[in-house]
Amino acid sequence: MARCSVKPSHSLFVDVRGLRYHCRCWGEPDRPKLFLLHGWMDVSASFQFLVDALRRNWRVIAPDWRGYGLSDWSGSDSYWFPDYFADLDCLLERLAPGEAVDLVGHSMGSNVAGMYAGIRPERVAHLVCLEGFGMAPPRAEEAPRRYARWFEQIGKGARFRDYESFDALAQRLRHSNPRLTAARSLFLAEHWGALTPAGRVCLRADPAHKLVNPVLYRIEEAKACWRLVTAPVLWVQGEGLEKRTKITAADLAERKACFRSFKEEVMAGAGHMLHHDQPEELAALIESFIP
């Protein structure tokens, strides 16, 4: 299978709240910084195709969230947003002290970035949200059933399936996203997967991510944070957002209205994984938005 030609990156490890955090970095340290935050069940290398398409000379920094990629696992039975907020705050303090930074987040990473930009508005200069406008709001009555389900999953334990080879994992990725080329899927597989002692390929992720989050999503808290964002916001979505998220058009409009400075783009020929499907177009949108 053919492989991608990519811009070189290197690994930087940072102590973050007692965990060894991995950051994938591209470009020279003295260049303008661009922070990229990946989504659920993803890794920092997922942004490689976007970085390859960037025209300007950036210092790109993309962390693996706790429990993903080469970062430490938390050791707990669940992962939740407060830890991601605090991890991001610590990372920025270490890697961009005193700076207002440019943040690009995808999916879960976008939701973290969006709320963080309201929690610490002085720390964010520009915010790019890729498919990250929150989830459909649950009903409070669902809480007892959610906690009970979490208890059951803890009791059973969690594990990810493994694969016979990186090619097999790449094939699975193309099944999930038919827009992926063979070369890109293999690149992702080789960074998302790792060889086991038995010669199989396992995912670089804590199986605890498979457990249901015991805490219901609280849209009103997210909106309260979004209303305090002072940075200009670029919201980029793929095709068919409403069908994929079950968020109504009216609800989506309310969420967009929370932001003071807001620009929206819809990318044709792309689904949820915008940075895989149309990285060149996405890079152009980002660089036209951030001066």
Q: Are 267 and 278 in contact (CB under 8 A)?
A: yes
Position 13 scores a pLDDT of 98
Position 150 scores a pLDDT of 95
pLDDT band for position 241 (50/70/90)?
A: confident
Q: End-to-end distance of the chain based on CA atoms, in angstroms? A: 39
Position 5 scores a pLDDT of 62
Whole-number percent of the chain with pLDDT over 90: 90
pTM of the shown model: 0.95
Q: Are 213 and 228 in contact (CB under 8 A)?
A: no
Residue-range domains of the chain with CATH: 10-136+217-289 (3.40.50.1820)
What span, in angstroms and rounded, lies between the C-alpha atoms of 238 and 240?
A: 7
- Give the number of other Cβ atoms within 10 Å of residue 183's Cβ: 15
Q: Say whether pLDDT at 4 is over 60.
A: no
Position 37 scores a pLDDT of 98
Please name the helix (run of DSSP H) or strand (run of DSSP E) that holds residue 145, with its range, or none: helix 143-156
Q: Return the residue matching tokens 């935050």.
A: 37
pLDDT band for position 214 (50/70/90)?
A: very high
- Give the tens place of pLDDT for each residue, 220-238: 999 999 999 999 999 999 9
Phi, psi at 61, each rounded to 5°: -125, 120
pLDDT band for position 2 (50/70/90)?
A: very low
Q: Return the residue matching tokens 């209205």.
A: 257
- Give the tens place of pLDDT for each residue, 54-75: 999 999 999 999 999 999 999 9
Find residue 193's DSSP bridge partners. 203
- Give the tens place of pLDDT for each residue, 151-201: 999 999 999 999 999 999 999 999 999 999 999 999 999 999 999 999 999
What span, in angstroms and rounded, lies between the C-alpha atoms of 263 and 105?
A: 15
